């Protein structure tokens, strides 16, 4: 039996719920949001679909006590409008720091002992705030982080060469935000180093990197929010936890060396973050990682 709580039923939280239900990954689903009408509406809409789906689940509403025996909680609260207006995920920081404190307190009071997966922005700062508020072990609190940005990199590189994005490996690291960077030394397509192809003039890495950073805001400019890609990333992480896949992926994880959560490769399984995997970076990439750490910590302490 798999039980998941989703806190925040905006576009992203609701999409996560929908994918989980359609994939049959959840047996009990707890939906929580400050807007009770929205919770009831989603409950009815999902329930009405079950007569036509291959799977279904027991859905419960706005009851933090139900989180006590949940396996995973997904936090997806926020104000995407602030990000859309400013072009900066840190625009959501004031409201989401308050949300994290309030939500974290109620999660702790519920007796929850599972794994907490954060999507709310700024992802790395809010993961840290939730860990502090809940008191959960750091390895059981993580965020989607640059898992999404890495998918955007795979899409961009794959499209440039007319290849399937799944043929592209490598990582976008650092903040899930403006100080993120593609660690090009890690990126390969069909097993060939992309840096080698860049040296041959086959790809402009700076242009691709900027396109990755701009991707989210192009989506927001067109429809007012992002939802499908990040929700898919969250569900992929949930599936890795439930199946104990020990899957190697970038996520917002705690790096002892820097004392903060940041997008970095880790092994994800039933225990949450089973271990962080050190990556050999160039001197330039390492400097970018340090600068991203400074950005995250400065905003977190502001």
Q: Tens digits of per-residue pLDDT, 107-152?
A: 999 999 999 999 999 999 999 999 999 999 999 999 999 999 999 9
Q: Which of 128, 143, 158 is the last residue of a domain?
A: 143
Does residue 156 sit in the same domain as residue 129? no
Q: What is the pLDDT of residue 81?
A: 78
pTM over 0.75: yes
Q: Across the strands, what pairs with 269?
A: 272
Within the chain, residue ranges assigned H as helices are 11-23, 36-49, 80-86, 93-110, 123-134, 147-161, 194-199, 205-223, 228-242, 283-300
Average pLDDT score over residue span 54-72: 97
Provide the token pair at 82.
């602030």
Q: Is 246 a catalytic site residue?
A: no
Q: Which of 26-30, 56-60, 200-204, 217-221 has the lowest mean pLDDT?
A: 217-221
Average pLDDT score over residue span 32-44: 98
With 90 as the cut, is the pLDDT of residue 16 above it? yes
Q: How many domains does the chain have?
A: 2
Q: How far is CA 209 from the centre of its chain?
A: 19
Q: What is the pLDDT of residue 174?
A: 98
Instruction: Catalytic residue, from 11, 18, 176, 246: name it.
Output: 176
Does residue 130 sit in the same domain as residue 213? no
Q: Do 38 and 63 touch, CB atoms closer than 8 A?
A: no
Does residue 164 sit in the same domain as residue 117? no
Model confidence band, residue 79 (pLDDT cutoffs 50, 70, 90): confident
Distance (Å, whole) CA 302 – CA 298: 6
Provide the token pair at 99.
């949300």
- Write out the residue range of the structural domain in which residue 80 sits: 3-143
Q: Do 125 and 118 touch, CB atoms closer than 8 A?
A: no
Q: Do 164 and 158 touch, CB atoms closer than 8 A?
A: yes
C-alpha to C-alpha distances, 87 to 50, 92, 127, nearest whole angstrom: 38, 11, 21
Model confidence pLDDT, tens digit, residues 203-254: 999 999 999 988 888 998 899 899 999 999 999 999 999 999 999 999 999 9
Does residue 111 sit in the same domain as residue 34? yes
């Amino acid at each position: 039996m798999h039980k998941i709580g989703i806190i925040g039923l905006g576009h992203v939280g609701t999409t996560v719920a929908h994918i989980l239900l359609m994939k049959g990954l959840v047996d009990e689903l707890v939906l929580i949001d400050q807007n009770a009408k929205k919770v009831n509406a989603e409950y009815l809409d999902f329930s009405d679909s079950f007569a036509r789906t291959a799977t279904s689940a027991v859905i419960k509403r706005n009851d933090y006590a139900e989180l006590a025996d949940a396996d995973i909680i997904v936090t997806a609260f926020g104000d995407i409008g602030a990000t859309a207006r400013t072009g900066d995920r840190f625009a959501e920081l004031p409201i989401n720091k308050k949300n994290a404190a309030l939500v974290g307190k109620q999660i702790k009071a519920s007796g929850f002992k599972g794994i907490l997966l954060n999507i709310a922005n700024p992802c790395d700062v809010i993961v840290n705030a939730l860990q502090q508020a809940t008191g959960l072990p750091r390895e059981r609190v993580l965020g989607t982080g640059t898992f999404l940005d890495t998918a955007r990199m795979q899409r961009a590189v794959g499209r440039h060469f007319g290849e399937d994005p799944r043929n592209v490996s490598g990582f976008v690291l650092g903040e899930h935000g403006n100080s993120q960077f593609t660690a090009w030394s890690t990126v390969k397509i069909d097993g060939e180093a992309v840096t080698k192809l860049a040296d041959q003039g086959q790809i402009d890495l700076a242009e691709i990197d900027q396109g990755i950073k701009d991707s989210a805001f192009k989506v927001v400019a067109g429809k007012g929010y992002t939802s499908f890609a990040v929700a898919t990333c969250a569900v992929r992480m949930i599936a890795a936890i439930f199946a104990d896949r020990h899957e190697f992926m970038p996520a917002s994880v705690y790096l002892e060396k820097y004392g903060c959560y940041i997008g970095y490769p880790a092994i994800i399984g039933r225990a949450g973050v089973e271990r962080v995997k050190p990556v050999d970076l160039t001197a330039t990439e390492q400097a970018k990682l340090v600068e991203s750490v400074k950005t995250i910590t400065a905003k977190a302490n502001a």
